[in-house]
């Protein structure tokens, strides 16, 4: 195994750093001319750079100002992405993207047992993260409360899918149903909406806050219970492998990418951005936790966005990296660079013992022995982490990034002895 | 002569690097950095699916008022540095309206369309003006907040980050003593209300206005 701890801790550290840098505005960093190399919304409180997809849309909408104005945005995006892509390929998806990180966290809470941590502790931590935002309006507290909310959702998912207790999902459904019912009462004026004093009421009387969080809780709870019931009969869809009908869903992300520019041109709007769930995940929810009293839902697309965000969270617990596999247009933009990028996973068939550990580890449902560095590979290195014989190695150009495992040669030698003896 | 796969990969890689660099340099010459920064500064409300809410009474200010940003602000108590051309315009007209919008901004388009239907403005967002019925006393400037030169004006009347965004509508007039009175609202502003506020000034109903 190629120093799994080092590789994993490096990846997680980079993902956390990318998330923190993405919201550097929280500590006063001003807007920059940079473009995030991953999905992150410039409307997120504290965001400091532009979203690549949003740049495509703005580039298209600049057409009436002439080629120069369009090229200033599209050319900048393409130039930057070609350079980064030539070096890292789709590596940003596996190593930096906060949306990928969110899906990784969801995966861990779904599959990893919480050692020495009781669910009640996680519940109390979540509440402790949420409550300060209810008392004071602060961008940083808004983010902490958002983390607390997603932790609460993850706790429900963990209880249902890891501990196999329906109560977790049922509580999420109950919380979601209560919030959705509250939203309906607020919308009909049966309870007076937007009563902002005292501050906690700003949350419970904000139609957008109750509706948005309610939908996420409700759909996640329903999905958890449905997955539990489904896997009892037909197996867990989380580790769905590439192939068959699953393969048919993969090109959807390319269609989404190709449709963004024409849709913006035809509608004259930020057609994808207006409804994309990533904005809901990293921008709408933190904003509502930060200043629920200052915002009202856009009458045209708020509910579509809220529903899409809830579906996104549900997808992230149903299929590992489901967003990256099927829907992410940015992943589609990076994909062609995988074939030539310097950052890559190299496979040495001579060292492979066909243990299949890499297949089990791959978040994208690939067989790394055949599909490493293909358009679907996000270069996360999880296959490298688990490979016991160093048949898979992570490299940047000629430089090896994953340290050789001291036991790799021994395992390989033993395997060859056993294989040679015909006992396999 | 046939190239080995690693040589082919190297060739493609070098081509990509050159292509990327060429795109970057050309885009830089077209002002990509300034343009991107200007866009990032204006909050993308589409990403949020939310419109800032600035309801309630319209009260005209001379200085940045307390609570203007939804809380305390370093600007509170200071007088905005009104651009010279606005001051000149106020010398000839009783009211100046500034309408800031953004490309692809749905609430901006909705507000503009609403004002057009009411006969308050004419034309499209990007080249619109005040309707002839008001043009004797009112000037209207419709500006893309994502364009750097307009963003300087936008920043004068913009509440600090957190509630920034487009559309933003600013109404300016002068008091009898010659002070500039102004009111700014970020987010969709009901077109009927905008029209009523301007008509209120023209009818002398706004206290202090000339």
The model's pLDDT over A299-323, given as tens digits with 9 standing for 90+, comes to 889 999 999 999 999 999 999 999 9
B93 vs chain A: nearest CA distance in angstroms?
Answer: 30
Task: Share the mean pLDDT of chain B.
Answer: 86
Domain A343-422 fold is Alpha-Beta Plaits (3.30.70)
Q: What distance in Å separates residue A221's CA from the closest CA in chain B? A: 24
For chain A, what's the residue count? 424
pLDDT per residue over B7-64, tens digit each?
888 899 999 999 999 999 999 999 999 999 988 888 777 678 888 776 667 788 888 8
Q: Quick count: other Cβ atoms within 10 Å of Cβ A419?
A: 11
Contact call for residues A68 and A60 (beta carbons, < 8 A): no
| Average pLDDT score over residue span A38-63 | 92
All structural domains of chain B with their residue ranges: 1-40, 73-202
Q: In Å, what is the CA distance from B189 to each residue of B108, B170, B174?
A: 9, 10, 22
A217 Rama class: left (phi>0) / alpha (psi -120 to 50) / beta: alpha
Cβ-based neighbour number of residue A21 at 10 Å: 16
Name the CATH superfamily housing domain B73-202: Glutaredoxin (3.40.30.10)
Is there a contact between A340 and B39 if contact means CB atoms under 8 Å apart? no
pLDDT at A422 over 70: no
Q: Is residue B72 pLDDT above 60, yes or no?
A: no
Given this model, what pLDDT does residue A129 score?
96
Kind plus residue range of the DSSP H or E element containing B97: strand B95-101
Cβ neighbours of B161 (radius 10 Å): 17
pLDDT-based confidence at residue A1 (cuts at 50, 70, 90): low
Please judge whether A298 and B51 are an interchain contact, meaning their C-beta atoms are less than 8 angstroms apart: yes
Cβ burial A256-281 (10 Å sphere, 16+ → b, else e): bbeebbebbeeebbbbbbbbbbbbbb
Helical (H) or strand (E) element with A296: strand A295-297
How confident is the prediction for chain A on average, in pLDDT?
A: 91
Task: Give per-residue pLDDT as tens, A109-136.
Answer: 787 777 777 888 889 999 999 999 988 8
What angle do helix axes A98-111 and A139-161 make, rounded to 10 degrees? 40
Is residue B209 over pLDDT 90? no
Please count the residue pairs, one from chain A and one from chain B, whose beta carbons lie less than 8 angstroms apart. 197
List the domain boundaries for chain A.
98-333, 343-422
Which pLDDT score is estimated for B46? 65
Residue B162 confidence (pLDDT) above 60: no
Q: Which of A46, A340, A398 to mutate to test the interface with B (most CBs of B within 10 A)?
A: A340
Q: Name which of A45, A294, A301, A397 to mutate to probe chain B: the one with the most chain B Cβ atoms within 10 A of its Cβ.
A: A294
């Amino acid at each position: 195994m190629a120093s799994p701890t080092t590789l994993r801790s490096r990846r997680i550290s980079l993902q956390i750093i990318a998330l923190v840098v993405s919201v550097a505005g929280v500590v006063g960093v001003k807007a920059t001319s940079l473009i995030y190399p991953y999905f992150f919304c410039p409307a997120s409180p504290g965001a400091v750079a532009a979203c690549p997809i949003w740049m495509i849309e703005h580039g298209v909408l600049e057409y009436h100002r002439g080629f120069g104005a369009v090229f200033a945005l599209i050319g900048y995006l393409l130039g930057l992405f070609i350079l980064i892509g030539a070096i890292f390929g789709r590596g940003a998806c596996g190593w930096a993207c906060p949306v990928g990180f969110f899906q990784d966290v969801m995966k861990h809470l779904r599959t990893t047992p919480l050692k020495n941590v009781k669910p009640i502790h996680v519940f109390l931590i979540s509440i402790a993260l949420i409550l300060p935002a209810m008392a004071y309006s602060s961008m940083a507290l808004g983010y902490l409360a958002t983390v607390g909310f997603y932790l609460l959702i993850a706790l429900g998912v963990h209880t249902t899918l890891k501990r196999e207790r329906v109560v977790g999902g049922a509580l999420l459904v109950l919380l979601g149903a209560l919030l959705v019912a509250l939203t309906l009462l607020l919308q009909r004026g049966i309870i007076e909406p937007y009563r902002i004093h005292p501050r906690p009421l700003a949350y419970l009387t904000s139609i957008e806050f109750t509706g948005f969080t309610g939908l996420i809780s409700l759909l996640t709870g329903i999905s958890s219970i449905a997955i539990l019931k489904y896997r009892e009969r037909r197996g867990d869809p989380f580790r769905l492998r590439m192939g068959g009908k699953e393969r048919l869903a993969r090109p959807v992300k390319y269609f989404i990418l190709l449709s963004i520019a024409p849709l913006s041109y035809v509608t004259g709007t930020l057609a994808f951005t207006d409804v994309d769930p990533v904005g809901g995940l990293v921008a709408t929810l933190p904003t509502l936790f930060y200043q629920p009293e200052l915002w009202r839902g856009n009458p045209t697309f708020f509910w579509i966005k809220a529903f899409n965000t809830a579906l996104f969270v549900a997808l992230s617990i149903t299929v590992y990296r489901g967003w990256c596999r099927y829907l992410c247009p940015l992943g589609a933009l990076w994909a062609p660079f995988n074939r030539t990028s310097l950052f890559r996973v190299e496979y040495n068939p001579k060292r492979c013992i066909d243990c299949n550990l890499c297949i089990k580890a791959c978040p994208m449902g690939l067989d790394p022995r055949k599909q490493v560095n293909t358009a679907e590979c996000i270069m996360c290195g999880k296959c490298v982490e688990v490979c016991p014989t160093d048949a898979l190695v992570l490299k940047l150009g000629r430089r090896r990034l994953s340290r050789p495992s001291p036991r790799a040669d021994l395992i390989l030698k033993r395997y060859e002895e056993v294989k040679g003896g015909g006992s396999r | 002569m046939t190239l080995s796969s690693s040589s082919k990969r190297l060739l493609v890689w070098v081509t990509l690097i050159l292509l990327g660099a060429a795109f970057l340099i050309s885009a830089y010459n077209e002002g990509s950095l300034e343009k991107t920064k200007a866009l990032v500064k204006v909050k993308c409300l589409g990403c949020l699916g939310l419109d800032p809410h600035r309801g309630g009474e319209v009260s005209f200010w001379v200085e940045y008022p307390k609570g203007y940003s939804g809380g305390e602000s370093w600007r509170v108590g200071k007088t905005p540095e009104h651009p010279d051309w606005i001051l000149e315009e106020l010398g000839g007209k009783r009211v100046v309206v500034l309408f800031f919008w953004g490309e692809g901004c749905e609430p901006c388009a909705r507000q503009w369309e609403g004002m057009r239907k009411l006969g308050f403005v004419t034309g499209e967002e990007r080249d619109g003006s005040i309707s002839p019925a008001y043009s004797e006393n009112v000037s209207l400037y419709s500006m893309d907040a994502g364009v750097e030169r307009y963003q300087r004006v936008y920043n004068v009347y913009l509440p600090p980050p957190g509630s920034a965004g487009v559309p933003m509508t600013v109404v300016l007039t002068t008091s009898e003593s010659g002070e500039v009175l102004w009111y700014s609202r970020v987010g969709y502003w009901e077109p009927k209300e905008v029209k009523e506020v301007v008509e209120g000034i023209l009818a002398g109903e706004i206290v202090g206005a000339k």
